[in-house]
């Protein structure tokens, strides 16, 4: 996507006109989003760099950045000296500019996180459980929101811009898989999650599928600045994923695009299975339990699973092969630049899975398919909670898709 900006002078001063299909009232908002999105991608930029990347004049980019600075969304950095002429003054996002809550409702635990404008976690609460039930989770959210809001200054409270919720859609269908009584899980069937959370706060509430939200976290906070199209796999209790096309999160008609866990792949015995049955952590849990060992570190210690032996090796091999098949199948539909793999696991395990995927993709017939680059995700175990918090951030302050690549 490209934009053209023209400037008109008159009694009202400089005015921006965007030839972007937006109406006149939304033009200033769009221009501010352009600047904020560029600063999020690049970290800090001077107004001359903003002007060069957008095609705006230095004067116009300066006006926009002054408005954002006046709103306390930007901060001035130390001047860059040693050049001819006036020193350049880089601008960056002000961490105190806005705050966002994220609520992750998982199949084995819930998390409530508060992040600042640059995506830094300010506080986080965690609640483990055997399976999710509505009332304890909403009680956890109510208590946590009160506790976190009270820890903020009055000015910071005024700058809370929303809460995002990341939750599996149709939770009641997962009773057998999570080992929960169907009657208990049926409580989710008529539960309006967004409305229940909205009753706890006075700011906007957003809801997204948990795996799509995790993909959004990689897009907003991860190291994907140079990648416009990627397929994303998140290995949690169950594996799922998301899709980014043209630099924007693609949720699809029902919000469930990128339901990669449902993708059919050959199982170890050659029969058709779903990816979720092979590459999910619950599959590893089952193997560990059958060997008479304690699987609790898989859920309680995502950064350190302790000593695991052949069962972990075997699961990584099976998961790597199945994900490799899913990467190839996905790439036959969309010409992705990259496949990104992350999950609720130690970074060393994630690295081994990525290595296994890279190794296995080379064993398949790739004729007619341009294989994407295969990378580790960079957000890690909190991707779903951070993805939830990214929903209000993206909606209020960022572009729907990237207009610029890093280095452009």
What is the DSSP code string of 141-184? HHHHHHHHHHTS-HHHHHTEEEEEEEE-SSGGGGHHHHT--HHH
Residue 346 has pLDDT above 50, yes or no: yes
Angle in degrees, 0-180, between the axes of helices 210-221 and 383-397, rounded to the nearest 10: 70
Type and span of the H or E element at 6: strand 5-8
User: Residue 62: its pLDDT value, please?
Assistant: 85
Angle in degrees, 0-180, between the axes of helices 310-331 and 281-290, rounded to the nearest 10: 160
- Tell me the Cα Rg of the chain: 23
Percentages (nearest 5) of helix, strand, coil residues in the chain:
45, 20, 35
CATH of the domain at 124: 3.30.420.40
Do 259 and 393 sit in the same domain of this protein?
no
Closest CA to 192 of 134, 142, 144, 246: 134
Contact between 58 and 51 (Cβ < 8 Å): yes
Q: Higher pLDDT residue, 50 or 157?
A: 157
Residue 18 has pLDDT above 80, yes or no: no
**Domain span at residue 39?**
5-93
Give the Cα-Cα-Cα angle 233, 234, 239 (nearest 5 degrees): 95
Count of domains observed in the chain = 3
Residue 155 has pLDDT above 90, yes or no: yes
Across the range 17-33, mean pLDDT stands at 51
Counting residues of the chain whose pLDDT is more than 70, the rounded percentage is 89
Task: Give the integer Cα–Cα distance in Å for 182 and 163.
Answer: 29
Do 157 and 296 sit in the same domain of this protein?
no
Q: What is the DSSP letter of 94?
A: -
Does residue 408 lie within any of the structural domains? no
Residue 389 has pLDDT above 70, yes or no: yes
Do 143 and 130 sit in the same domain of this protein?
yes
Does residue 54 lie within any of the structural domains? yes
Task: Give the integer Cα–Cα distance in Å for 163 and 146.
Answer: 13
CB atoms closer than 10 angstroms to residue 364: 14
Task: Give the integer Cα–Cα distance in Å for 273 and 262.
Answer: 9
Instruction: Examine the fold and report which residue of 93, 110, 137 is the final residue of a domain before the chain moves on.
Output: 93
Give the Cα-Cα-Cα angle 49, 54, 60 (nearest 5 degrees): 80
Counting residues of the chain whose pLDDT is more than 90, the rounded percentage is 60
Do 304 and 277 sit in the same domain of this protein?
yes
Task: Give the integer Cα–Cα distance in Å for 238 and 115.
Answer: 26
Does residue 405 lie within any of the structural domains? no
Residue 46 has pLDDT above 90, yes or no: no
User: Residue 11: its pLDDT value, please?
Assistant: 31
Contact between 162 and 101 (Cβ < 8 Å): yes
Flag the least confident range among 82-86, 201-205, 285-289, 347-351. 82-86
pTM score > 0.95 for this model? no
Do 143 and 87 sit in the same domain of this protein?
no
Do 18 and 47 sit in the same domain of this protein?
yes
Do 75 and 106 sit in the same domain of this protein?
no
Instruction: Examine the fold and report which residue of 64, 93, 122 is the final residue of a domain before the chain moves on.
Output: 93
Contact between 20 and 3 (Cβ < 8 Å): yes
What burial letters (b/e) apply to 252-266, b meaning 16+ CB within 10 Å?
Answer: eeeebbbbbbebebe
User: Residue 87: its pLDDT value, please?
Assistant: 60
CATH of the domain at 81: 1.10.10.10
Task: Give the integer Cα–Cα distance in Å for 302 and 346.
Answer: 6
Instruction: Examine the fold and report which residue of 52, 73, 93 is the final residue of a domain before the chain moves on.
Output: 93
Does residue 406 lie within any of the structural domains? no
Do 278 and 166 sit in the same domain of this protein?
no
Contact between 106 and 112 (Cβ < 8 Å): no
Does residue 315 lie within any of the structural domains? yes
Do 196 and 106 sit in the same domain of this protein?
yes
Flag the least confident range among 39-53, 298-312, 394-408. 394-408
Across the range 312-328, mean pLDDT stands at 96
Do 255 and 373 sit in the same domain of this protein?
yes
User: Residue 400: its pLDDT value, please?
Assistant: 67
Does residue 403 lie within any of the structural domains? no
Mean pLDDT in the chain?
86
Does residue 407 lie within any of the structural domains? no
Closest CA to 124 of 354, 341, 386: 386
Do 324 and 198 sit in the same domain of this protein?
no
Does residue 123 lie within any of the structural domains? yes
Closest CA to 397 of 31, 44, 3: 31
314 Cβ contact partners less than 8 Å away, ≥ 6 residues apart: 287
Do 191 and 336 sit in the same domain of this protein?
no
């Amino acid at each position: 996507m490209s934009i053209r900006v023209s400037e008109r002078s008159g009694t009202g001063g400089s005015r921006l006109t965007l030839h972007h299909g937006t109406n006149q009232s939304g033009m200033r908002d769009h221009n501010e989003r352009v600047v904020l999105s560029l600063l999020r991608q690049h970290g800090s930029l001077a107004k001359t760099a903003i002007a060069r990347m957008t095609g705006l004049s230095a004067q116009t980019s300066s006006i926009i950045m002054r408005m954002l600075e006046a709103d306390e969304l930007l901060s001035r950095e130390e001047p860059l000296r040693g050049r001819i002429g006036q020193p350049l003054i880089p601008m960056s996002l002000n961490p105190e500019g806005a705050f966002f809550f994220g609520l992750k409702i998982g199949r084995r635990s819930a998390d409530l996180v508060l992040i600042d404008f640059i995506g830094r976690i300010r506080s986080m609460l965690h609640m483990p459980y055997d399976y999710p039930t509505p009332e304890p989770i909403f009680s956890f959210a109510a208590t946590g929101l009160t506790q976190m809001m009270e820890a903020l200054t009055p000015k910071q409270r005024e700058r809370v811009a929303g809460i995002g919720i990341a939750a599996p859609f149709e939770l009641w269908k997962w009773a057998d898989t999570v080992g929960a009584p169907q009657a208990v899980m049926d409580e989710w069937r008529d539960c309006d999650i967004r409305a229940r959370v909205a009753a706890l706060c006075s700011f906007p509430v957003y809801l997204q599928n948990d795996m799509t939200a995790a993909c959004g976290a990689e897009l907003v906070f991860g190291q994907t600045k140079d990648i416009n199209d990627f397929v994303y796999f998140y290995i949690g209790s169950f594996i799922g994923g998301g899709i980014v096309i043209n630099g924007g999160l693609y949720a699809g008609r029902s919000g469930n695009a990128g339901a990669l866990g449902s993708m059919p792949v050959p199982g170890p015995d050659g029969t058709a299975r779903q990816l979720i049955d092979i590459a999910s952590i619950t599959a590893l849990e089952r193997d560990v339990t059958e060997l008479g060992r304690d699987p609790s570190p898989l859920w309680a210690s995502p950064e350190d699973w302790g000593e695991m032996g052949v069962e972990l090796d075997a699961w990584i091999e099976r998961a790597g092969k199945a994900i490799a098949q899913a990467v190839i199948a996905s790439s036959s539909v969309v010409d992705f630049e990259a496949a990104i793999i992350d999950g609720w696991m130690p970074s060393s395990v994630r690295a081994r899975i990525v290595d296994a995927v890279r190794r296995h993709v080379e064993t398949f017939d790739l004729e007619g398919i341009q294989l994407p680059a295969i990378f580790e995700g960079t957000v890690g175990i909190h991707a779903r909670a951070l993805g939830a918090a990214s929903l209000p951030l993206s909606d209020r302050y960022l572009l729907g898709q990237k207009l610029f690549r890093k280095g452009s």
